[in-house]
Structure 1
Amino acid sequence: MEAAEKPGKIGGMFRALHYRNYRLFFVGQGISLIGTWMQQVALSWLVYRLTDSVFLLGAVTFSSQIPSFLLSPFAGVIADKFERRKVLIVTQALSMVQASTLAALVLTQTIEIWHILTLSAILGIINAFDIATRQAFVVQMVEKREDLSNGIALNSSLFNMARLVGPSIAGVLIAAVGEGMCILINAVSYIAVISSLLLMRLKPFVPVEKKEKVWQSLQDGFGYAYNFPPIRALILIVGLLSLFGMPFSVLLPVFARDILHGGANTLGFLMGASGVGALTGALFLAQRKSVVGLGKVIIFTMLLFGSALIAFSFSETLVISLLLMLFTGFGMIVSMASCNTLLQTIVDEEKRGRVMSLYATAFMGMAPIGSMLASSVAEVVGVNYTLAGCGLLCALSIIPFAMNLSKLRQMVWPIYQRLGIVPEIATGLQAASNLTAPPEER
């Protein structure tokens, strides 16, 4: 892959942008993600406006994300077997069709809740293949392993910049012209990311000949992830964070309208504030030169996220709620992106697609289960106590990881030695993160 002619002009925080293919993807994906967040806000507001049902808010999220839980492992096999760029072009094109159909129904005022549930499920199926493939595709755009963590962090920055911009625009547009225009803009935005994929110059794809069947490939990938405790622990953290933490975004329309007594713009402000916090967290990770100390960072940010959720659940003042959304956004994205970075660093290349599909299963697959549980409980005990319980469970779920952190560090030590990652990473892990090397290495 080509690097920029004058990489010195780009600071260390943006070093992954040295690579032409990554720059193309960064711009195209950025435009598309703004549209995605606009559609998400518009759809949440539309569902709550049409139904006044917290349960149906959760049901729509469930239908859009449960396919990832069921299909992501198979998507990982696809990501390891076929050319990832072509898979992404197909998934993005199908997503554009889905958004166009949804926009047409809303703009013609023929939309019904079953349309939303069905189209959300279709998008979920598409995303199951898209997310696993996209996660594995990053390594093809960022050639040097030492720049991979920066590429992942910049991806997170991009995602959360869009989360800041998209909902803010959506809040204004919904009040002015309705939800349909937001969804239509999302449909058009897919052109940008498809164009960026087509413009990339990649090495010729050489399919790996494997005699094993799909089921055997799945078993091998799952066995590899399960039997290596560091990978298993990281995927478990992501799963628990999605299960207990992601429901907060599903409940936000209720807080915006019924607790803070606002409208669509209030929902946009809340999501935008969360986006600011998440963007700050992603930039914090981007400026890091290595994976030094990420284990302790994950523990801190999980506790921060859980505490902020508990406080937000009882806030009735917009300013305080916006401030707490900053902390929730920061805590969630740093925890998620740190787990992603560590996984991408330690996983074997030939199993990357399958392991990242398990990450996608934990990230996207557990969220709908949590959303349905949270929305069901909220109907009975109220959204305040439900969200407070979610925050408490997030904080408690990191305790086992914290107790076993030193053992997990010892297990990844040989991997960093074998990969020959920049020497200060290995040294820094030992010094800054209290990593205990094997006795003969001390």
Structure 2
Amino acid sequence: MRDFRFLWTGRAVSLLGSWLLVVAVPAHMYALTGSVFATGLTLAAEYLPALLLGPMAGVLVDRWDRRRVMIAADVFRAGAVAVMLIGTPAAIYVAVIAESVGAVVFRPAAQAHVPAVVGTGRALSSANSWNAATDAVVRLVGPPLGGVLLVWAGFEVLIGLDVASYLVSAVAIACTRRRSSEKTGRSGLKAGLKALGELKLARTLLPLTGVFLAANAALSALLVPFGVRNLGGSTQVGMVLSALGVGFLAGAVAVRWLDRVQLRTVLAGAQLGTAGGFAVLFSAQELGIAMIAAVVIGAFGSITVVAPQTALQRVADNEYLGRISAVFLAVEALATLIGAIVGPWVAESVSLSFAAMGAAVITAVGALVGAVTVPRVMLAPKRSNEQADSHA
């Protein structure tokens, strides 16, 4: 597990550096331009590379040494972020897009590399649980810390910290060993799509994941106006978001104990729990109830994301895993964009309550469909895999 510790360290440090800029970059752009639209474009720019380049990035990830791909992606992202020091709006847009290009390459490489490092037994559940828990902690700490540092130290210092975080990540990954067991594919995107189509689990999870993420994005987009209108203001919204982070952390810890439960049961239960949490949240008139519902949403939402990822890493041929992961990441970006646009549009056309409850119902229906269609996988890992983990 030595190599995983290096991977986890690099990922955690670079993730924290990125989340420090989640608030700082839009705030700095707004200070430069005074335009809400220009500020919003910085967020939209993050999704473009995943939509346009995601599947092709998966081809490169499966064709090259994934360890070197991750190192190169980190160095590239460090250089991309440094471009923001130029200070012009155009430079920031270019930097955001370039950084996202690096992430589009890094994420499928990391998802495909982890099972090669820790095996596909129980250690894989633990590794994904650790990563998800790290995501939750960074999401809680990064944005407010970035906002404080922006005021106290300035935008340039935050840029320097993010550049340094990517370089630290590259060094940590360089300290790992190349896995001789990790095969690199020689075929292109067509072969990867064929492998995805032949894998019933991936074929079933792809549309279910898209529907869930689109509904979740719609509800997330409605949370701020709902909180301001019904819960009292932006401070209350921040408390609800913190509760979501706490729930996400709890779910990340819990998911490691679900190996002996079938994926269809875990996924259906988690999605139904998420739908119920959203229904309660968007019906709440008191902050306390809203925060409890947010914890429930975060916990079940975390399980909904991590459990299918672990199952795919177990059953997919590692030779094609980068391409399969990249397709899922592209669907994630597309679904998020659709949900973020459709949710507010329905809220303005009909009502916020109708849009929120509609998205919650869609999430629940997706859960019921998944309970019937998802293959019977994610039982206890095979003994051979457990033994492989003990020698990793």
What is the TM-score of this pair, normalised by structure 2? 0.83
Confirm or deny: 8 A CA contact 1:70 1:365 kept in the other structure.
no
Deviation at 1:184, TM superposition (A): 4.9
Distance 1:330 1:227 in 2: 32
Alignment partner of 1:295 is 2:264: yes
Q: Tell me what 2:203 maps to.
A: 232
Aligned counterpart for 1:198 among listed residues 174, 178, 191 = 174
Aligned counterpart for 1:349 among listed residues 318, 340, 344 = 318
Q: How many pairs were matched up? A: 385
Q: Which letter does structure 1 place at the counterpart of 2:312?
A: L
Q: Tell me what 1:432 maps to.
A: none
Q: Which letter does structure 1 place at the counterpart of 2:279?
A: I
Q: Tell me what 2:61 maps to.
A: 79
1:84-233 aligned at under 5 Å gives the runs: 84-102=66-84, 105=87, 110-111=88-89, 117-143=93-119, 145-173=121-149, 182=158, 184-203=160-179, 208=184, 210=186, 212=187, 214=188, 218-233=189-204
Distance 2:324 2:51 in 1: 14
1:162–1:77 distance in 2 versus 1, CA, 3 Å: same
Confirm or deny: 8 A CA contact 1:153 1:286 kept in the other structure.
yes
Q: Tell me what 1:9 maps to.
A: none
Q: Which letter does structure 2 place at the counterpart of 1:334?
A: I
1:118–1:77 distance in 2 versus 1, CA, 3 Å: same
Deviation at 1:128, TM superposition (A): 1.8
Aligned counterpart for 1:393 among listed residues 344, 355, 362 = 362
Distance 2:296 2:270 in 1: 9
Confirm or deny: 8 A CA contact 2:271 2:364 kept in the other structure.
yes
Alignment partner of 1:277 is 2:247: yes
Distance 1:285 1:222 in 2: 29
**Aligned with 1:348: secondary structure?**
coil
Q: Which letter does structure 1 place at the counterpart of 2:200?
A: P
Confirm or deny: 8 A CA contact 2:67 2:178 kept in the other structure.
no
Q: Tell me what 2:4 maps to.
A: 22
Listed as ranges, the gaps of 5+ residues in structure 2 are: 388-392
Distance 1:128 1:275 in 2: 24
- CA deviations over 1:66-87 (Å, ceiling 9, x no partner): 3213322112211111011111
Alignment partner of 1:359 is 2:335: no
Confirm or deny: 8 A CA contact 2:120 2:314 kept in the other structure.
no
175-184 or 88-97: which moved more? 175-184
Distance 1:255 1:175 in 2: 28
**Aligned with 2:319: secondary structure?**
helix
- CA deviations over 1:12-56 (Å, ceiling 9, x no partner): xxxxxxx11111121222122222223223445667884456x97
Distance 1:175 1:285 in 2: 38
Deviation at 1:286, TM superposition (A): 2.4
Distance 1:93 1:47 in 2: 24
Q: Which letter does structure 2 place at the counterpart of 1:367?
A: T
Q: Which letter does structure 2 place at the counterpart of 1:349?
A: N
1:248–1:93 distance in 2 versus 1, CA, 3 Å: farther
Distance 1:279 1:302 in 2: 17
Confirm or deny: 8 A CA contact 1:170 1:268 kept in the other structure.
no
Aligned counterpart for 1:339 among listed residues 297, 303, 308 = 308
1:370–1:66 distance in 2 versus 1, CA, 3 Å: farther
1:301–1:257 distance in 2 versus 1, CA, 3 Å: same
- CA deviations over 1:129-162 (Å, ceiling 9, x no partner): 1211111111232146442222122211111121
Deviation at 1:400, TM superposition (A): 1.5
Confirm or deny: 8 A CA contact 2:183 2:319 kept in the other structure.
no
Q: Tell me what 1:242 maps to.
A: 213
Distance 2:349 2:262 in 1: 41
Deviation at 1:281, TM superposition (A): 0.3
Distance 2:10 2:218 in 1: 28
**Aligned with 1:64: secondary structure?**
coil
Distance 1:322 1:46 in 2: 30
Deviation at 1:243, TM superposition (A): 1.8
**Aligned with 2:342: secondary structure?**
helix
Q: Which letter does structure 1 place at the counterpart of 2:253?
A: L
Distance 1:284 1:129 in 2: 29
Q: Tell me what 2:390 maps to.
A: none
1:205–1:335 distance in 2 versus 1, CA, 3 Å: closer
1:246–1:345 distance in 2 versus 1, CA, 3 Å: same
What is the TM-score of this pair, normalised by structure 1? 0.75
Distance 1:255 1:186 in 2: 33
Distance 1:48 1:392 in 2: 36
Deviation at 1:278, TM superposition (A): 0.7
Confirm or deny: 8 A CA contact 1:103 1:183 kept in the other structure.
yes
Distance 1:270 1:368 in 2: 22
Confirm or deny: 8 A CA contact 2:185 2:320 kept in the other structure.
no
1:364–1:375 distance in 2 versus 1, CA, 3 Å: same
1:121–1:208 distance in 2 versus 1, CA, 3 Å: closer
Distance 1:391 1:226 in 2: 29
Distance 2:29 2:228 in 1: 13
Identity over aligned pairs, percent: 23
1:399-410 aligned at under 5 Å gives the runs: 399-405=368-374, 408-409=375-376
Deviation at 1:92, TM superposition (A): 1.6
